[in-house]
Amino acid sequence: MTPRSPAPPARALWRGWVHLLLGGALLMPYMLLGALVAELVGAGRATDGYGAVTDPRVFLAVLPVVAASGLVLPVRRVETTAARELLGVALPDPADEPRERPSWDRRRRTAAWFTAHLAVGGIAGGLTLALVPFALWIMTLPFVEQQTATAGATTALPSGWAAAWALPAGPAVLALLALAIRGAAAALARLGPALLGPSPAERLAQAEARSRRLAERNRLARELHDSVGHALSVITVQAGAAARLLDTDTEFARTALTSVEECARSALEELDHVLGLLREERPDGVARQPALGDLPALVERAGTGGQRVELVVDGPPGTVPAAVSREAYRIVQEGVTNALRHAGEVPVRVGLRVRERAVELEITNELPAAPRTPGRGRAGGRGLMGMRERVEVLRGEMEAGEMDGAWVLKVRLPW
């Protein structure tokens, strides 16, 4: 819901009055139709058209028709906008509401609000049309001699000092009318969130949809961080090694630059895949997802820049379920990336053990004599956070920290 700052009292009064008069204006076609039907069937006392329109019985008779029309007419967006702008009710933006066919619960609540708005607005409009001219008229009594006709007899109304009471009476009538209007508008404002706002079930559905969107955004952010971030880290290390050895070891520099090209191409493919998901151009899973079987290629790319990376595999990676295999690959990828980024040229050991119902990962690298990024703790950053999120989704276990002069990452993922 969009929070709205409270309007000044005078402005709130006028806006509430306009909202009620709008309800009265919307009620008039129903009253005219009811008056016409009453005249045709001869219901009630014989009156002229104006008397039928103002007949309370006609007013009560048309309210069920108003409620029925509120069930089928597309009035919810109009009423929501009017309540937001004129009454200051905190309601969702009508443009954000779902476009699908409204439920019967929403229809009933809309019909109840529509009926209340038109009924209270009709009464407020009638009082406004009657009391405002009356208040102005009685204020003229001390200055203008007037007469009234009652039962065929003409009676002179008091004037001059005898009618001095009329001067304060007129403003008092207007003040009472303003208080009544303000109270009616406040009552409708309190009723608005229950009838025009989302129901508890709709709020729960909206919260679930928002949670799914956030989870998907976090997943895509992890994919970008792990895939593209890894490729850029490898490219940085390899490009630096090629620049250092370009004059002394041309063959190594050529190999490193070739690996830079392959990593950049792989990063572009990963980026294109994630952008396709964001644009909903293709369903998730169309592009090939990495798996544990791709770890040798990952290690080989990481080692082309001079980094010593060792992979030890115990068990068949192909037996691991696809979802677990993909997440395990991403965790190893991020672990190797962290080692490339922070540990310098110390050797990195990657251990993969495939057990009966779980995958165990262990990434170890010696602690460098001086960190490559001074002032930054090893436990911080988005990399470890992303790995923990992946582990938690699969209900696994993760440990990361210094142990016996080395940085050790241990992960266990159940199938």
- Does the domain formed by 206-414 have CATH 3.30.565.10? yes
Q: Facing residues of 148 across strands? A: 155
Place of tokens 């919307």: 26
367 in Cβ contact with 408 (< 8 Å): no
- Return the structure tokens found at 72: 């089928």
Short-list 221, 242, 312, 298, CA closest to 266: 298
- At 351, is the secondary structure helix, strand, or coil? strand
pTM for the complete prediction? 0.54
pLDDT average, residue stretch 52-79? 87
Does an H or E element contain 243, and which?
A: helix 229-245
Q: What is the pLDDT of residues 335-376, one digit of tens each?
A: 887 877 776 667 888 999 998 889 999 999 887 665 544 434
Tokens matching residue 39: 């005249």
pLDDT tens profile 96-140: 666 667 788 889 999 999 999 999 999 999 999 999 999 998 888
User: Given pLDDT bands bounded at 50, 70 and 90, which one contains residue 163?
Assistant: confident
| Amino acid (one-letter) located at 162 | A
Cα 287 to Cα 283: distance, rounded to the nearest angstrom: 9
Tell me the average pLDDT across 68-72.
92
- Residue span(s) of the chain under CATH 3.30.565.10 come to 206-414
DSSP 74-117: S-HHHHHHHIIIII------GGGS--SPPPHHHHHHHHHHHHHH
Q: What's the whole-number mean pLDDT along residues 32-37?
A: 87
- pLDDT at residue 79, as a whole number: 92
φ/ψ of 414, rounded to 5, equals -75, 155
